[in-house]
Amino acid sequence: MKSDLASYNNNGYNPGSIFKRTTWYIIHSCFFKSAWNISSTFKIMWLRVFGASVGKQVTIKSRVSIKYPWKLSVGNHCWIGEGVWIDNLDQVTLEDHVCLSQGAFLESGNHNYNSKKFDLMTAPIYLKQGTWIGAKALVGPGVTTGSHAVLSLGAVATKDLEPHTVYGGNPAIAIHERKISK
């Protein structure tokens, strides 16, 4: 059997009305993707207008990309660094004190490479309290991190991460325990 991308059909996936997605795209382009570091308060207001749940004292830096805010929940005291991309085709949840470092990529969708039609598959991402996703690290669909897990610089998480554990590599493997000092 060969792939047949001409038969690809994404009609079963509906992330929201075309009006909602178009309006978000305009707001997103003006206030999130810009290199200007516009106030986090202003960005949070727009996220909430479009249905995101966002806690208190959240920092959102410049050039951040968020596909669908209505599929995003951000806890208190979170940090979303420069150039972070949240491609949330499915729900993405950040609990309190989660840090997404520069260029981190959260990808909640993929395609079924075993399907002739290359069907879209989505699964939620859940980052528990105190998780740190390092710069240029990637978190794939369906991944849940344990409390205070660390995915180091450039690592790729395709499976769940255990709590209080530091991971590195591609695919990510446990390197050592995370010990947080006072």
pLDDT at 6: 85
* Per-residue model confidence (pLDDT) at position 117: 86
Residue 131's Cα: distance from chain center in Å? 13
User: Which pLDDT score, from 0 to 100, does residue 118 have?
Assistant: 86
pLDDT value at position 32? 93
What pLDDT is attached to residue 51? 97
Q: At what angle do helices 18-31 and 40-49 cross, to 10 degrees?
A: 180
Burial label for 77, CB within 10 Å (0-12, 13-18, 19+), is middle
**What is the structure's pLDDT at 182?**
81
- Domains of the chain, earliest start first: 39-177 (2.160.10.10)
Query: Exposed, middle or buried by CB within 10 Å (0-12, 13-18, 19+), for 83?
Result: buried
- Please name the residue that has the structure tokens 């382009």: 29
For residues 125 and 106, the answer to whether their CB atoms sit within 8 Å is: yes
The whole-angstrom separation of Cα 147 and Cα 144 is 10
With a cut of 70, list the residues of the chain below it in pLDDT: 1
Residue with tokens 């309290």: 129
pTM: 0.94
Note the pLDDT of residue 42. 94
